[in-house]
Amino acid sequence: MTPKAMKNKSNANTKKTNQIYDMEKCNFCICQQKKKKSNEMDIVAQRSIICQEELIREILSWLPVRSLLRFKCVSKSWDITSDPYFKKKHQSRQVNSLRFLFAHTKFCRPQNIHNLYSNSSLSLDEDDVQNIDYLSSEYTCFHILCGSCDGLVLMIIRLPTRYTHELILLLWNPSTRESIHIPFPIFGLRNSIFGFGYDPTTHDYKILAIQQSKSQTQCAILALKSGSWRNVYIETPHIFRTLKNSFGFEDPLAFVHGAFHWIHCNFCVGSFNISNEVCTMIPLSEQMYSYRSRAISRDYHVSILDGMVCLSSACKVDGEYAFTLWGMKDHGVKESWTQLFKIKIAPVSIVKPVYRFADGDVLFQCRDVVRDSFRTSKGRFQLWCDSFVKRGDMINIVTFNESLIDPKTLF
């Protein structure tokens, strides 16, 4: 073969090789594009699934606990109530959705009757009322509500034993029916006043107990994470004695802005911060101080209404018995005390504020020798429970927000 022919054959082979290479390269590019497109489709599909799950969680976070627990019964895959992130989101959604917990005691022979009811409004609609029989069925007892925080309710219950009665301190979630027993402070429950709140600095729930007698005053605090009571020193915890209920226990300490509040015997508001454990005295206005000589200690009450520390007084003013309510609009500032309203009441009434409506009016509980009743500044307020609350019955009430917090995970 001549050199020229060999050169032509070599060029032809090179050209053919290049064509094969170009075809393989083209096929490779096509495969890469298909693979890239497939990956992009997978990513889009995954994002779509994630978005759908987030949307479902967002929708479910607005639902009441009762509905979420129903989903839990349907399928394990539907149970998201144990997810910490979902719990926090759901809790944030429920901040403005208050419920009312009623502890009703009917005194009768041979055995008193005790019931717990939950209600999402103060309407007369009985369909909105839940009879919470968990505690009533497990325990035959009375229920003393000692305050609520983040959907958890601290309460004292009494169990009948063979010869006497046993007291139990219980932390309970009325929405999920989950509960845990709390150990007693070293000085016990009798003559003790309790407060329950959340410490944002340690992310822990704390219980303050103050026992006051003629000879001494003892104070102890329980951080749930620690699991044990610790004695604390409060320089001036002396509390004006408020009216005890029919079971001998006093109303709980009011909690807001990370502190417990009470009426001090020097006629000011005591405030104990649960983060730094510092006690301060909040002075009252001159108008409020003028009421000091007109009433006895049981006629004063500190409460939290709409996030505001309030002081109420039931005493004789200008020849007539009146109920007066003040609110401290700027926490800790004496000049911010403002009189919200004053109304006439019966001379024997003991009055306790319960809830503040959007228009500024206040629902309060009146207790006299006949029965417990509810009213506002406009007059008698009829509740769904009026039909069965009779003379001599006792009603204990607290407000709470629904939550999915399991008390057992806190202790």
- d(CA 330, CA 226) in angstroms, rounded, equals 33
DSSP string, 317-359: ETTEEEEEEEEESSTT-GGGEEEEEEEE--TT-EEEEEEE-TT
Q: Which residues are CB-contacts of 234 (< 8 A; sequence separation ≥ 6)?
A: 210, 217, 219, 272, 279
Whether pLDDT at 190 is above 80: no
- Laid out side by side, the sheet with 300-305 consists of 300-305, 308-317, 320-328, 337-344
Q: pLDDT band for 135, please (50, 70, 90 cuts).
A: low
Residue 10: which domain range?
3-88
Residue 36 lies in a domain: yes
pLDDT winner (highest mean) among 6-20, 161-175, 267-281: 267-281
Residue 350 lies in a domain: no
DSSP string, 84-144: HHHHHHHHHHTTT-EEEEEEEEE--SSS-EEEEEEESSSSS-GGGEEEE-HHHHH--S-EE
Among 95-99, 363-367, 389-393, the minimum mean pLDDT is found in 389-393
Q: CB neighbours (10 Å) of residue 20? A: 10
Whether pLDDT at 237 is above 90: no
- Residue 231, φ and ψ in degrees, nearest 5: -65, 140
pLDDT of residue 163: 56
Whether pLDDT at 34 is above 60: no
pLDDT of residue 62: 82
Q: pLDDT band for 263, please (50, 70, 90 cuts).
A: confident
Residue 24 lies in a domain: yes
**pTM score, two decimals?**
0.79
Residue 260 lies in a domain: no
Residues 46-63 pLDDT 10s? 555 556 677 777 888 888
Pairing of strands 178-182, 192-199: unpaired
Q: Considering the chain, what is the average pLDDT of its residues?
A: 75
Q: How many independent structural domains does the chain possess?
A: 1
pLDDT of residue 255: 94
- d(CA 308, CA 365) in angstroms, rounded, equals 18
Q: Which residue has the tokens 């090179």?
A: 14
Whether pLDDT at 210 is above 80: yes
Among 23-37, 159-173, 188-202, the minimum mean pLDDT is found in 23-37
What's the whole-number mean pLDDT along residues 215-232? Answer: 89
Whether pLDDT at 142 is above 70: no
- d(CA 365, CA 372) in angstroms, rounded, equals 7
DSSP for residue 235: S
More confident residue, 165 or 135: 165
Q: pLDDT band for 17, please (50, 70, 90 cuts).
A: low
More confident residue, 232 or 135: 232
Question: Two tokens at 46?
Answer: 């995954």
Among 85-99, 292-306, 320-334, the minimum mean pLDDT is found in 292-306
Residue 77 lies in a domain: yes
pLDDT winner (highest mean) among 73-87, 210-224, 370-384, 387-401: 210-224
Which amino acid belongs to residue 37? Answer: K
Among 29-38, 177-186, 267-276, 317-326, the minimum mean pLDDT is found in 29-38
Q: pLDDT band for 331, please (50, 70, 90 cuts).
A: very high
- d(CA 371, CA 115) in angstroms, rounded, equals 17
- d(CA 295, CA 263) in angstroms, rounded, equals 13
Among 52, 159, 179, 67, smallest CA distance to 114 is for 159
Q: Which residue has the tokens 């229920």?
A: 143
pLDDT of residue 177: 85
Q: pLDDT band for 152, please (50, 70, 90 cuts).
A: very high
More confident residue, 303 or 233: 303
pLDDT winner (highest mean) among 117-131, 158-172, 327-341: 327-341
Q: CA end-to-end span of the chain, whole Å?
A: 97
- Residue 119, φ and ψ in degrees, nearest 5: -140, 135
**Total length of the chain:** 411
- d(CA 395, CA 144) in angstroms, rounded, equals 10
Residue 245 lies in a domain: no
Residue 308 lies in a domain: no
Provide the strand spans (E) within 107-240: 113-119, 129-132, 143-149, 152-160, 165-173, 178-182, 192-199, 204-212, 217-223, 228-231
Q: CB neighbours (10 Å) of residue 108? A: 11
Residue 408 lies in a domain: no
- d(CA 398, CA 156) in angstroms, rounded, equals 14
Compute CA 80 distance to the chain's CA centroid, rounded to the nearest angstrom: 21
Whether pLDDT at 318 is above 50: yes
Q: Percentage of residues in the chain with pLDDT exceeding 70?
A: 64
pLDDT of residue 229: 94
